Structure 1
């Protein structure tokens, strides 16, 4: 349940915890025992305030409690791609696969290393099971949970050195 809805529910419970006991005591239970209206409604209101105070204490805890997340399942965690990240759970900080503040300049064609030969047939990747976390692409991110910070797969460059 979202936080705003929890606050609304807590406020509604508080209002009901005040209104219903106050009305029941003032209009139903106390008229036969207390004949003075001012005294009767004062006692009823005091009881309503006590019960509403308890409801406020409950409501504040209910509205501000941390959201209960589904626990991560027991599947495998795999990060097979180059510069890939696979996380099971809820990472609290930032997650990034890119460079921060530096630029990797590509090698000139005359000094570049020869390309690796392509494999004859691609190896099929195993089918991920339930609860698994897999990041298999280059600079990919897979998270089974809710990240607490930013998630970035791109390079973040500083000023251009040219």
Structure 2
């Protein structure tokens, strides 16, 4: 569904959410209880406005969502491989945050273990690339074919530590 059609639908639903309850309350439900038309229609309009506000909130989310459509088409074909430690390979569009680092509670230097020199990383041979392929072969590497649409982090987050 096109965005303009969704906006028109959202506006129509919002208008109906105001008009229908306002008329029902003002003309049908409230006359036996409230004889003064100014008070009766004021209460009916307030109820209609409250329901229209809820409908407008829904309408905005409905009309502004992407609904599976993307600004970039998803590339076709190709292998997807993630061979490294904490590696991520995604074919297509990702709409969330991606992190390959450590997260956790904030730690003070006294809480951290003594730092040892890490062993040299083992060489990870990169697989042969094919057209349209997505490969993440290094440690904490990320490969995305398309628009990630979110935050990407390959290291430690602030407040976290790596043991």
Which structure has the bigger radius of gyration? Answer: 1
Q: TM > 0.5 between the two?
A: no
Q: TM-score range by the shorter chain?
A: 0.3 to 0.5
TM-score, reference length from structure 2: 0.44
TM-score, reference length from structure 1: 0.45
